Every structure is written in C-alpha cells, then in structure tokens.
Amino acid sequence: MNFRENEDAVSPVIGVILMVAITVILAAVIAAFAFGMTGSVQTTKTVAATATQQGDNIIVTYQGGADANALNYLKITVNDAANPTYYFKSGKSGDGKAFTTSTTFTDNDKTALVPIGATIKLTGQGSPQRDHVVVVGHFMDGSEHVVLDTYV
C-alpha cells in the first residue's frame, strides 16, 4: 500500500501572519513619530551664571543667554535647604529704572530685577569650607532649569 502524506506545512501561513504583524507594528511606530504622538518634549533653555566666593560672601554673576528674554526669575540656594534661598527677577524694575551691569545686588534685594551682566552678592552665606551653589532659572512657560550647580 502506498500512503500519501500531505506535504503542505503550516510554516507558510505562520510566515505570512508574522510579516503582516511586523508591518502593522512598524506602521504604528512610524505614524507615532510622524504625527507627534510621542509626547511633548521640552527644549533646554540657555542662560548662564557664574559663582565665586570672596571671604564669607558668595558672588553670583548672571551672564544671560539665548533665552534671557524668557527668564522669569533666578532662584539661588547656597549649601542646603537650611540656608536661605534667594529669588531675583530678570529685567527692569517696576518703576522703569533699568539696573546697570555695575549694580551689585545683595540679599536684601530679593525682589530686585537683575539685568544681564549684573552681580548678586549674598553676604555672609559663604563658609571656610567649599560651598555648594545652585542657581535655578524659572521661565515664563512654567519650566525650570538648573543654570549653575557648582562648588566655590
């Protein structure tokens, strides 16, 4: 007796199903990127500041940058949360008087409006050890970015 076996396999059917699945997944990934469904990615803001220490004073100089016009205020923290945190707004004062870059702001001027190039003097905030200075820029779009994180 001669038995004839069916030589057709399941492999071609599985292969077609896998190819269709890969095509659908690839199309979904491409569509997500093409139509912006990957979420909102914020761009990094560009402003700069430098910090130095003179005795027990911390001197922060606001350098400005490409996004200086979008800066709402600077938040300066020395060492840790136990020490005072200072806020300095950017721009001009409420009375229209523009501060010059030669104006030195102190910790008493917490609501002063600081122009590009101005120095902020935090009196008595320094110590004989290295001090950790963090400057965070808060922007008009609600975002905040670390402008400076250094030890002086």
- CATH code, residues 48-151: 2.60.40
Model-level pTM?
Answer: 0.62
- DSSP labels, the chain: ---------SHHHHHHHHHHHHHHHHHHHHHHHHTTTT-PPPPPP--EEEEEEETTEEEEEEEE-TTGGGEEEEEEEESSTTS-EEEEEES--TTSPPPPTT-EEETT-TTPEEPTT-EEEETT---SS--EEEEEEEETTS-EEEEEEEE-
Q: Tens place of pLDDT for every residue, the chain, 152 residues?
A: 666 666 666 677 888 999 999 999 999 988 887 777 656 666 788 899 999 998 888 888 888 888 888 887 788 888 875 665 666 766 544 444 444 445 565 555 555 667 778 788 887 888 888 889 999 888 888 888 999 999 99
